[in-house]
Amino acid sequence: AFVGLSDSEEKLVRDAWAPIHGDLQGTANTVFYNYLKKYPSNQDKFETLKGHPLDEVKDTANFKLIAGRIFTIFDNCVKNVGNDKGFQKVIADMSGPHVARPITHGSYNDLRGVIYDSMHLDSTHGAAWNKMMDNFFYVFYECLDGRCSQFS
């Protein structure tokens, strides 16, 4: 279920995200690279990256475009923390193209873990971040499973 964050949790999420927001593309590239390096089978889920050595594609415009898109979604979610309808709309809007993709919930959860690990959060910030991400994935999985209309 979707559980709204308290004012203090919202601030913790924004504070945790601030260093990433400050270098969104650079962080996106690094984290996406680390994600694909740790879970190489997930690279095949991206048609333009499929079949190419990771180290050969990591500096390409397409790699950066994909990484940037992923992190822009999270950036927009953080901007909408505290505005539940806005937060849900960001996720609902981006979920449509993902419905037909052969990507498992596990692959998405892998990305969640790599992002979390890259943030080096203390337990207080980590708890708030995880609550926000629980909401993100609740909405996202509901949409992937055909129940997105509840968020529009």
Instruction: Extract the annotated binding site for heme b.
Output: 48, 69, 98, 101
DSSP character for 85? H
Q: Give, as one character, the DSSP assignment of residue 52.
A: S
Q: For the chain, what is the radius of gyration of the CA atoms?
A: 15
Distances from the Cα of 147 to the Cα of 11, 112, 116, angstroms: 30, 22, 27
- Count other C-beta atoms under 10 Å from residue 84's C-beta: 16
d(CA 135, CA 92) in angstroms, rounded, equals 12
Tell me the binding residues: 48, 69, 98, 101
Residue 97 makes CB contacts below 8 A (sequence gap 6+) with none
